[in-house]
Amino acid sequence: MSLPSDHIDSTRPAPRLPAGQVTLGFRGWVRWFWRQLTSMHTAIFLLLLLAVAALPGSLIPQREADPNGVVQYQAAHPALTPILEKLQFFDVYTSVWFSAIYILLFISLIGCIIPRVKHHIDALRARPPRTPARLDRMPGYRTESIPAASLRGSQGAGDAIESATEVLRHAGYRTQFYADKHSISVSGERGYLRETGNLVFHIAIMAVLVAVGVGGGYGYSGEKIVMQGQTFVNTLVSYDSFNPGRFFTGERLSPYSLTLKDLAVRYETKNKAAIGQPLDYTAYVTARKPDGSQKADTVKVNTPLYIGGTNVYLLGNGYAPVITVRDPAGHVRYRQPVPFLPQDNNYTSIGVVKIADGLPAQVGIIGSFYPTAGASGGVPVSTFPGLRDPVLSLDVFKGDLGINDGVPRSVYTLDTNAMTQVSGPGVQQPAEQLRVGQTVKLPDGLGSVTFDGVKRYVSFTISHNPAQLWIFICSVFLVGGLLTALLVPRRRMWVKARQQRDGSVLLEYAGLARGDDPGLLAAVESITAAHRTALSGPAGPEPPAGPGGTRPAQPAPAPEVVGEES
């Protein structure tokens, strides 16, 4: 077994159930099935199926890439949702059917590759096959004749073939000498690298996927919001969210730490079409390794920081207004920077403050923050992402925060079911508007709120992938294999010499492409020319065959298949 039997160059018959044969036996069936699975038809079918199966994931939001999109989609299509859920259309790329297709493809690939590797190793050791009896049927066929007059000394057919062998070897052919009753010949073959490249390519595909799987299994990624001045220590508990791989064990975390000194942000201010567009984010950090060494460094978009076996990415940022809440007696009950989530490109942001103890009632505040306060159609919005005129607006609720039952709640949402609004839209008391340094008294004698200032925060994504280097190496093999497989021509070349009755020697040349080979005809031509030179070179000043002596067997083929230049 070598190429799949339905490969266009295969000499094996296609697998077919023998007509009339009803019982094939278990082993027969297994063998038949295996041949089907590893056939080229199946590979095409599975490849096309894979392409089609990948489609829905681009039309329907996917839980992994876009969880919010999934929620919105499900809300908009309540009737469709249960069916799509059942069919795993929100998790296409981990679904049973998608996995089934690529697993089948891999089995097919392995089944296809193993025999080809064996066959190729044999081919690498084998000699080029026997020269065809009739070369004139082969592409690029041409002849030359060495007149008897220029055959001096022992120079006959044998010598000509010897020098042809030399020429072929020189051009990278592996050669074999053959002789029959009428002629002697050399058969050459080159381009074994083509098949090597093909096999390397297919193996590399699998290797990449294995490496990706291993990397995902043993790696992890997590997210952490770090405020200006805060320090993040790389331990499990300090992550806001953490996604371990299936085989991940906690010991792999290297306990380095990062302190965010500053986040420098530049916005476009001149180009009218892009006012406020971010030009640069740079997080200045102090990185401390577990061994105590310490170093100032930066993290930028597109330039992650490599530390302790992890990459630290700067994927988000925002504002954290510093908010102080005092009880009616003036004692500070709450003071901290609160990370607000940006809602638009100008960083109109929303955040939540929850004060469970110390005030006359539990208080929840939904804050809106405008780094540059303005309005659009009567609705307050931020008009520039930088801090030109920061305003904090607060809707205040009192009642039950719903956090006493021990169920963890998001710090970014306020459950107002058991609360009453005391200020903001919908109640008489308007939202509290604050500029930096200002304080307002809360309604109902709840206390007061002060807007002390604004800090920036960054959202770091930290990931560890133990297979990163392997994935890269495999990809290099993949591309290299593909290039050799598609660009190295595999071809055979023959030179045959025949002693003519008149004492002259007739030389025949021809080649054969194995696979796509645009340069075959030119190659036959150049071998012919090189051989002519070799024959005439050391033999004497007189070329054995001048232009008159050369007789191309057919009109000289154009170098390219389609033809000629104007």
Partner 1 sequence: MTAFLSQLSVIVLYASLAVYAAAFISFAMDVAGRAVKVRAASDVTSAVARRAESALAREAGAAGQAGSGHLATMTKTANEVHEHITDVNFSRSQTVGMALTVVALAFELVADVLRGIAAGRVPWSDMYEFSMTGTVLITIVFLIMAKRYNLRFLGVFITGLVLVLMGISVTRYYVAVVPLPPALQSYWLVIHVLVAMGATGFFALGFALSVAQLMQARRETQIREKMPVTLRFLETLPGSNVLENLAYRVNITGFILWTFTLIAGAIWAEKAWGNYWGWDTKEVWTFIIWVLYAGFIHARATRGWRGSRSAWLAIVGFGAVMFNFGIVNVFFHGLHSYSGL
Tell me how far, at minimum, the Cβ of 465 lies from ligand HEM, in Å. Answer: 22
* Residue 79 binds partner 1, judged by CB under 8 A: no
User: Which CB, 401 or 510, lies closer to partner 1?
Assistant: 510
* Shortest Cβ 371–partner 1 spacing (Å): 18
Distance, CA of 427 to CA of 421 (rounded, Å): 7
Residues in contact with ligand HEM, shown as a per-residue x/- string from 372 to 391 under the rule CB under 6 A: --------------------
Q: Which two tokens stand for residue 547?
A: 């232009």
Residue 126, C-beta contacts closer than 8 angstroms, at least 6 positions apart = none
- Asked if 123 touches ligand HEM (CB under 6 A), the answer is no
- Rounded to whole angstroms, the Cα distance separating 512 from 9 reads 13
Residue 88 interacting with partner 1 (CB under 8 A) = no
Cβ closest to ligand HEM, residue 49 vs residue 265: 49
Residue 201 within binding range of ligand HEM, rule CB under 6 A: yes
- The one of ligand HEM, partner 1, none whose footprint includes residue 457, by CB under 5 to 8 A per kind, is none
> How far is the first Cα of the chain from the last one, in angstroms, to the nearest whole number?
48
Q: 43 or 323: whose CB is closer to partner 1? A: 43
**Residue 473 is a binding residue for partner 1 (CB under 8 A):** no
Q: Which helix (H) or strand (E) holds 396?
A: strand 391-399
The Cα 333–Cα 326 span in angstroms is: 5
Main-chain phi, psi angles of 30, to 5 degrees:
-60, -45
Indicate which single residue of 313, 340, 370, 509 sits in contact with partner 1 (rule: CB under 8 A): 313
**307 is a site residue for partner 1 (CB under 8 A):** no
Structure tokens at 144: 């030359």
**DSSP E strand boundaries for 197-329:** 220-227, 231-233, 241-244, 257-267, 278-288, 294-300, 305-307, 310-326
Of 459, 239, 438, give the one whose Cα is nearest residue 342.
Answer: 459
Name the burial class of residue 178, with classes exposed (0-12), middle (13-18) and buried (19+) by CB atoms within 10 angstroms of its CB: middle
Q: Could you tell which of ligand HEM, partner 1, none binds residue 280, using a CB distance below 5 to 8 A set by kind?
A: partner 1
Candidate residues 5, 32, 40, 87; the one interacting with ligand HEM per rule CB under 6 A: 40
Partner touching 242 among partner 1, ligand HEM, none, CB below 5 to 8 Å by kind: none
Note whether 343 binds partner 1 by CB under 8 A: no
Residue 410 φ/ψ, nearest 5 degrees:
-65, 140
Give the per-residue contact string, 494-533, with ligand HEM (x = CB under 6 A; - = no). ---------------------x------------------
Q: Of 21, 23, 154, 271, which lies in the binding site for partner 1, with binding defined by CB under 8 A?
A: 271
Residue 96 found at the interface with partner 1 (CB under 8 A)? no
Residues 1-30 contacting ligand HEM, CB under 6 A: 3-4, 7
Residue 83, CA atoms < 13 Å, CB-side half-sphere: 5
Residues 5-34 interacting with partner 1 (rule: CB under 8 A): 6-11, 14
Q: Is 92 exposed, middle or buried (0-12, 13-18, 19+ CB in 10 A)?
A: buried
Strands 332-337 and 310-326, bridge-based pairing:
antiparallel
CA dihedral 102, 105, 109, 110 (to 10 degrees): 70
The encoded tokens of residue 57 equal 């994931």
Q: Any bridge partners for residue 399, and if so which?
A: 362, 419
> What is the pattern of x (binds ligand HEM, CB under 6 A) and - over residues 260-299?
----------------------------------------
Q: Which does 560 bind (CB under 5 to 8 A by kind): partner 1, ligand HEM, none?
A: partner 1
Is residue 274 a contact residue for partner 1 (CB under 8 A)? yes
Contacts with ligand HEM by CB under 6 A lie at: 3-4, 7, 38, 40, 43, 47, 105, 108-109, 112, 198, 201-202, 205, 482, 485-486, 515
